[in-house]
């Protein structure tokens, strides 16, 4: 996996836009892989995504379940505190 990922995401108005992210960290929670991504244009934000990787192509998956997101965020925060 590369250090940067370009993906089509939804902005605050629900419009699709292409954005480039720096890969902060790859980690696993409950046998599922996640990425912590920092937008190149706004390094104050961190986004957490589930993902799949097939033949070198990464597909970002939105974490839609609030409980899952909370677990992932907690694990990420603990990893960053190490």
- % of the chain at pLDDT higher than 70: 98
What DSSP line would sit under 17-72, residue for residue?
EEEEEEEEEEEEETTEEEEEEEETT-TT--EEEEEEEETTEEEEE----HHHHHHH
pLDDT band at 1 (very low <50, low <70, confident <90, very high): low
Per-residue model confidence (pLDDT) at position 33 = 95
- Identify the pLDDT of residue 12: 79
DSSP reduced 3-state for 4: strand
Name the β-bridge partners of 20: 6
**Cβ atoms within 10 Å, residue 49:** 20
pLDDT band for position 67 (cuts 50, 70, 90): very high
Model confidence over 16-34: pLDDT tens digits? 888 899 999 999 999 999 9
């Amino acid at each position: 996996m590369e250090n940067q990922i370009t993906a089509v995401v939804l902005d605050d108005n629900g419009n699709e836009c292409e954005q480039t992210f720096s890969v902060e960290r790859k980690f696993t929670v409950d046998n599922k892989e996640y990425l912590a991504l920092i937008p190149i244009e706004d390094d104050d934000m961190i986004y957490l995504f589930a993902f799949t990787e097939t033949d070198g192509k990464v597909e970002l998956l939105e974490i839609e379940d609030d409980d899952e997101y909370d677990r992932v965020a907690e694990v990420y925060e603990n990893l960053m505190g190490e």
